[in-house]
Amino acid sequence: MNTKKRDPYLALRYKEFRAYVLARFLITIALTMQAVIIGYEVYELTNSKILLGLIGLTEAIPAIGIALYGGYVADKSEKRNMLVAFISLYTVMCALLLVFTHSDMIASIGKENVVILIFFIIFFTGIARSFSGPASFGLAAQIVPREVYQSSITWASTAWQSGAVLGPAVGGILLGKAGITFTFGIIVVFLCIAIISLLMIDKKPIQFIPKGESVYESAIQGLKFVYHNKVILSCISLDLFAVLFGGAIALLPVYAKDILHVGAEGLGWLRASQAMGAILMLLFLAYFPIKKNAGKILLGAVFGFGIFIILFGISKLFWFSMFCLIMSGALDGISVSIRHTIVQMATPDEMRGRVSAVNSMFIGSSNEIGEFESGATASLMGTVPAVIFGGCMTCLVVIVTFFTSPSIRKLELKEHSAAD
């Protein structure tokens, strides 16, 4: 009988993985701080719900449009240097936001022009994400052996969620106490430290060499791989529609200012709540990983996510709103852990960038499109009905998936091949 004790810290025993996790943590803090500040500043300058939704859509358009090419470039490039290059671009974009949102600049060129410049920078941030995401996914798989993947995914997700907890909270508090210029300065510092941490990782060999096919043919290989792998396709499809309709995060500035009346600091805590729940769940999964009935657990988690989004929508109490977001985040953490583990295990090394790009197109960008959907429906039917509608649609997606996708119901966390 195998009595070997599971080591929950297995991935963290690799020096380069620790450097990667630190960088991921700092990058997430920085970008989630930036998201809170941009959302609050745009709403302060315009008082427009539809523009809140357009923030996400502006980033999603380039992220979707060039995602496949970004994955292709990541696969044929040295991933550490590529990731450093695009995090450096993030840093430049953040420094420009620091300048453009300064009170003197707003007074000089006017609110409307500042908002236009903010959206222009967000667009270029979406371009950078199309390349940095696949590079990060591919690099993570190259710094630990295959048998450590589940542990590395758990800790990488924990680092991301930890940053997503601290980022909005710190961003909201600093914005309220120290102002927008100082807060953007802190973000730039975090990104610079992340770049230094990434440089502590050795360069990795390139595992994909184009074999004469065109860039287009090579780029769409990731799309074809996902389409023909029923397990990955089912997981991504479920998350896509659930996230698309569960984009209540875009309306948090409205809740903070007009419904819960808690200001910038309260907005920071609301933005942090989902990630707070997710990190608690991911830490739990590090010690007690899912071993059986992964598909049914996945469906139950996404359904519960929709229920708590509905409860958040009708809440007028700050503490209960935070509780609902924490619970929705915990349930989303289960979904993220299962999906990432399946995708990492099922993807050949030479295709990781392109498969990650497809994953980003359908999941990462659906966050932003979901935020646009929330902003648009809020403008049409009101803020609270829009959030309730989104939660109901998420639950409906789960019910339809349960009855139409046996591959999800029977899903187990085990080694999958491209033929699954």
pLDDT at 417: 43
Predicted structure pTM score: 0.69
Residue 304: the pLDDT is 93
In this predicted structure, what is the pLDDT of residue 5? 57
The reply to whether 4 falls in a domain is: no
Segments in the chain below pLDDT 70: 1-7, 207-216, 218-219, 246-247, 349-350, 353, 360-371, 413-420
The residue segments making up the domain with residue 318 are 11-204+213-409
For residue range 370-410, what is the model confidence (pLDDT) as tens digits? 667 777 777 788 888 888 888 888 888 888 888 887 777 77
Q: What total of structural domains would you count in the chain? A: 1
Q: d(Cα 245, Cα 395) in Å, to the nearest integer?
A: 10
**Structural domain contains residue 359:** yes
Q: How far apart are CA 369 and CA 360, in angstroms?
A: 12
Residue 401 lies in a domain: yes
Query: Is there a domain that residue 195 lies in?
Result: yes
- Per-residue pLDDT at 323: 94
Instruction: Specify the CATH number for the domain of residue 136.
Output: 1.20.1250.20
415 within a domain of the structure (yes/no):
no
In a domain, 238, yes or no: yes
Domain membership of residue 416 (yes or no) is no
d(CA 34, CA 122): 10
Half-sphere exposure of 77 (CA within 13 A, CB side): 22
At 214-237, the pLDDT tens digits run: 666 766 777 788 777 777 777 777
pLDDT recorded at residue 210: 60
Residues 6+ apart with CB under 8 A from 282: 154, 157, 158, 161, 333, 336, 337
Confidence at residue 327, expressed as pLDDT on a 0 to 100 scale: 93
**Is 70 part of any domain?**
yes
Residue 136 pLDDT: 85
